[in-house]
Amino acid sequence: MTYEHILVAVDLTEECDPVIKRAMAVAGDSAKLSLVHIVEPMAMAFGGDVPMDLSQLQQQQFDQAKERLGRLTDKYPALKAEQNHLKYGQPRQEIHELAKEQQCDLIVVGSHGRHGLALLLGSTANDVLHGAPCDVLAVKLVKSS
Ligand code: AMP
């Protein structure tokens, strides 16, 4: 079985390179590739109750993400700019919704193989796997020291 439309979730750090490369290898010459990055609401990081206006900071974060996403399209010609998606919200929910909307049959994410406390905090890969509308490929990321 070959995949037809692969959704690659990127956190826009240098770690997204191995994730994109693996997705391209799985896609071969036939599957369509889409990229998605989710900008998470800043208030969420502060527990939802912040006594200041974060809208300007949030806009800067959004603009920066857009620029980085654009740079990835320049770096990997297999990625088409019109198939880049920038969303605002909670990664699991946004990735699942987009995968359904775009009829993707595979989601590719990076995975850190966490231990101890970090495991308790959870990972986006785990989160995305639960309730996913299609197959999920977790690409093992090796810590660079
Ligand atoms: P994490 O568990 O947060 O270390 O992230 C592991 C993987 O989840 C990354 O390599 C990405 O594939 C995906 N990911 C994490 N954060 C985001 C985000 N904000 N938008 C899209 N994908 C993300």
Residue identifier of the C-alpha nearest atom 17 of ligand 1? 11
Ligand 1 atom at minimal distance to the Cα of residue 16: 10
Q: Which residues form the pocket of ligand 1, taking CB atoms under 6 Å from any ligand atom? A: 9-11, 15, 19, 36-38, 40, 91, 109-110, 112, 123-125
Residue 127: per-residue pLDDT: 92
> Domain segments of the chain: what residues?
5-140
Task: Report the separation in Å between the CA atom of 110 and the middle of ligand 1, taken as the mean of its atom positions.
Answer: 6
Residues 6+ apart with CB under 8 A from 101: none
Q: What is the mean pLDDT of residues 110-130?
A: 78
5-140 belongs to which CATH class? alpha beta
- 61: closest CA among 93, 37, 28, 91? 37
Residue identifier of the C-alpha nearest atom 12 of ligand 1? 109
* Mean predicted lDDT score pLDDT of the chain: 88
pLDDT digits (tens, 9 = 90+) for 23-58: 999 999 999 999 999 999 876 566 656 666 777 888
Task: Report the separation in Å between the CA atom of 15 and the middle of ligand 1, taken as the mean of its atom positions.
Answer: 9
Side chain identity at residue 26, one-letter code: V
Residue identifier of the C-alpha nearest atom 6 of ligand 1? 110
